[in-house]
Structure 1
């Protein structure tokens, strides 16, 4: 069995959705479970809906959601003839699921409402893809992954209950392959035992596919993207980026840890645990070899560059000039865990600690307020974090020229520079 994941870029237009049957027909007679992300910028659009709702702007939230509705109905009309009415009814059920919430007033944390609204994107895209594949002669079974992936209630970053989820996959998903060779489902989302929708973190569709791959002992997982494979840098930021034809699990985990957007940070572990190879291929030209990720050693890699903008530096200084030491660091990590933020870089001195974080304003404010009980706190925004794996002096000099360096951490293999 194979696991395929199609990202938002591969289903962001009528023309691109029409390419999917040709890709799938290259694997006749094989059992394939297909995980599909929300279309294009749908997740961003739904985030704005959730924000407007939570801020009390009900009419604005409904107006923004109407735009999402219209775009998906228009896509469906262009793609379908025979199956359109059935699909429209399915889409309107999901519209109603969101609108029922949007007519209410928020009484819970934002993250809860975020998940209830944003999850609709994957449900809409997969319904359209499934109906189009069926109309194209590719039989398939559509499933709501919220009925399969049981999670905790840590909204926006939910943790999967592997035992319950594994049982549901065995009892409810695998039997469907007796009816069709193809199953279509959603990435990124799950549900609690109370049937409240959850999300697995941004870009979590890769992780969804990896969980399925692990639970069904897949022969491989393929992520179909709009790039030729894994690159040594973001080609939108670095036009001279080159493809990496081969990587191992460890290297990809390091890349993900430092913020590379090609593979979700949690994706590799379920695959590595069972030695399942991961392929990154281009849906625009399926004949290209792409990148294979496995457990073998890989040598001679070029510099791998990750550039993260919108970084925040939180500077903590002991109030009485006592050493920070292990106690201060332990308190800091406890605070980071409480507000659920991951440091991108930490540097400590005798009486101070400096922490670089992604700019999530509400959580940064909570961290600063909590830390103020222990430290003097200063916050600086608008910074850029450069990470280079397998760096050399020329590349480092070129990428830091004309920038003011704030912090640097450097080993023989990796260098990180926080810059203004």
Structure 2
């Protein structure tokens, strides 16, 4: 049993879908579960749709654009009388009906229900294409298998129920052909749609693989494997042929976007190998992540954008003690906020976190009575794992550094991006 995951870039248009089918043909004699993301940038457009709805603006134009995008892809795959068009119309009628009756619902609930439609659409379209051009394919709704808590936009998996659902039902389908399902989505005990966090389809693949005790997971990407840096920013970036689970987990923790951060843990615990391979050259092995004895790999450069730096200062001329730290960490835990970088002094505690939904505002509102709070937004965080003098010499000068931090293995630099630095400098001159 193997699990394949295809992301949005691999199914962005009709030709891409045809390429995915060709990749699957190479392995279709095996038992396969295929996890697919939304097509292209559909999730971004669905997020914009939700924001237009929340802002009480005309959201129907955006909805029509998304529908036409999927219809255009379908026209490149099927004839004009194919049943998929009726299915697409039905899904979009359902979206419109939901939004027209969603007043009073929580933003997070509306968001999860809407953005999940991208995966439901893509898998419907691709399932029909695989059925007719590769092999019989069974479509499964991931929400019936992956069960989560009530944190709609970054939900936590109920592993006991989820593994039971997957192990008891899916193996019989794989013996009868291919199985296709969605990444990124699940549901809570009330049956309401939840999401696993942006780019969470990798994690979905790991969840299915864990429940099935699969041999491996393969994440098909538009890059040749896990690389030492984003090749769009560092052309000299190299493929890392082999990584240990711990090294891969560390890279994802610090923001490497090649794999979703929660993907590694369940695979490592169950000794399931993870392959990162290029869908444009499927014969290439890419990167394998496992328990093996990978040699020390070159320094890895990771940049996280949309960072927020928050400094919590004492208000009573005392110190940052265990009681104050407890207040901070309890608030972070309750809001499900991950710290990317932290530093403390005697009288202050500073953190760097992602700008995500309204969590920053909620954190500040919760703690403003206990601390003096200062905040800076629109920052970038550079992390270099396994750095040496040569690696650090490749980092160009930053004009406005907020924080620099080194450990034995990891180097961090939090700074104002050059574009924003120039804008601020111009404002000061004026």
Q: Equivalent residue for 1:99?
A: 96
The answer on 1:154 being equivalent to 2:151 is: yes
Task: Note the aligned Cα RMSD (angstroms).
Answer: 1.5
Contact 1:56 1:105 in 2 (8 A): no
Contact 2:226 2:276 in 1 (8 A): yes
Q: Equivalent residue for 2:426?
A: none
The answer on 1:269 being equivalent to 2:271 is: no
Q: Return the alpha-carbon distance in structure 2 between the equivalents of residues 95 and 173 of structure 1.
A: 28
CA distances 1:315-348 after superposition (whole Å, capped 9, x unpaired): 1110022010211211111111233321111101
Deviates more, 1:137-146 or 1:42-51: 137-146
The structural deviation recorded for 1:282 is 0.5
The answer on 1:254 being equivalent to 2:250 is: yes
Q: How does 1:323-334 map to 2 (within 5 A)?
A: 323-334=319-330
Select 1:192's aligned residue among 188, 194, 200: 188
Contact 2:309 2:350 in 1 (8 A): yes
The structural deviation recorded for 1:56 is 2.0
Q: If the length of structure 2 is used for normalisation, what is the TM-score?
A: 0.93
Select 1:133's aligned residue among 110, 130, 135: 130
Q: Equivalent residue for 2:7?
A: 7
Contact 1:312 1:357 in 2 (8 A): yes
Q: Return the alpha-carbon distance in structure 2 between the equivalents of residues 361 and 15 of structure 1.
A: 34
Q: Return the alpha-carbon distance in structure 1 between the equivalents of residues 309 and 248 of structure 2.
A: 26
Select 2:166's aligned residue among 146, 164, 169: 169
Q: How does 1:164-313 map to 2 (within 5 A)?
A: 164-180=161-177, 182-313=178-309
Q: Return the alpha-carbon distance in structure 1 between the equivalents of residues 398 and 184 of structure 2.
A: 39
Q: Equivalent residue for 1:65?
A: 63
Secondary structure at the counterpart of residue 263 of structure 1: coil
Secondary structure at the counterpart of residue 18 of structure 1: helix
Q: Return the alpha-carbon distance in structure 2 between the equivalents of residues 303 and 145 of structure 1.
A: 37
Contact 2:163 2:210 in 1 (8 A): no
Query: Could you say if the C-alpha distance between residues 333 and 239 of structure 1 is closer, same or farther in structure 2, counting changes exceeding 3 Å?
Result: same
The structural deviation recorded for 1:400 is 4.8
Q: Return the alpha-carbon distance in structure 1 between the equivalents of residues 337 and 154 of structure 2.
A: 11
The structural deviation recorded for 1:360 is 2.9
Deviates more, 1:400-409 or 1:36-45: 400-409
The structural deviation recorded for 1:404 is 2.8
Secondary structure at the counterpart of residue 358 of structure 2: helix
Q: Equivalent residue for 1:50?
A: 50
The structural deviation recorded for 1:264 is 0.5
Q: Return the alpha-carbon distance in structure 1 between the equivalents of residues 247 and 286 of structure 2.
A: 17
Secondary structure at the counterpart of residue 255 of structure 2: coil
Q: Equivalent residue for 1:78?
A: 76
Contact 1:247 1:298 in 2 (8 A): yes
The structural deviation recorded for 1:167 is 2.2
Query: Could you say if the C-alpha distance between residues 301 and 28 of structure 1 is closer, same or farther in structure 2, counting changes exceeding 3 Å?
Result: same
Contact 2:102 2:110 in 1 (8 A): no
The structural deviation recorded for 1:310 is 2.0
The structural deviation recorded for 1:364 is 1.3
Aligned residues: 416
Query: Could you say if the C-alpha distance between residues 191 and 397 of structure 1 is closer, same or farther in structure 2, counting changes exceeding 3 Å?
Result: same
The structural deviation recorded for 1:146 is 1.2
Q: Return the alpha-carbon distance in structure 1 between the equivalents of residues 154 and 27 of structure 2.
A: 34
Q: Return the alpha-carbon distance in structure 2 between the equivalents of residues 169 and 86 of structure 1.
A: 29
Q: Return the alpha-carbon distance in structure 2 between the equivalents of residues 19 and 355 of structure 1.
A: 44
CA distances 1:68-122 after superposition (whole Å, capped 9, x unpaired): 111101111210138x532122222322331112112431321111001000000
Contiguous gaps of at least 5 residues in structure 1: none
The answer on 1:117 being equivalent to 2:117 is: no
Q: Equivalent residue for 1:348?
A: 344
Contiguous gaps of at least 5 residues in structure 2: 417-430
Instruction: Provide runs of 4+ in structure 1 moved above 4 Å.
Output: none
The structural deviation recorded for 1:132 is 0.7
Q: Equivalent residue for 1:88?
A: 85
Contact 2:308 2:378 in 1 (8 A): yes
The structural deviation recorded for 1:362 is 2.2
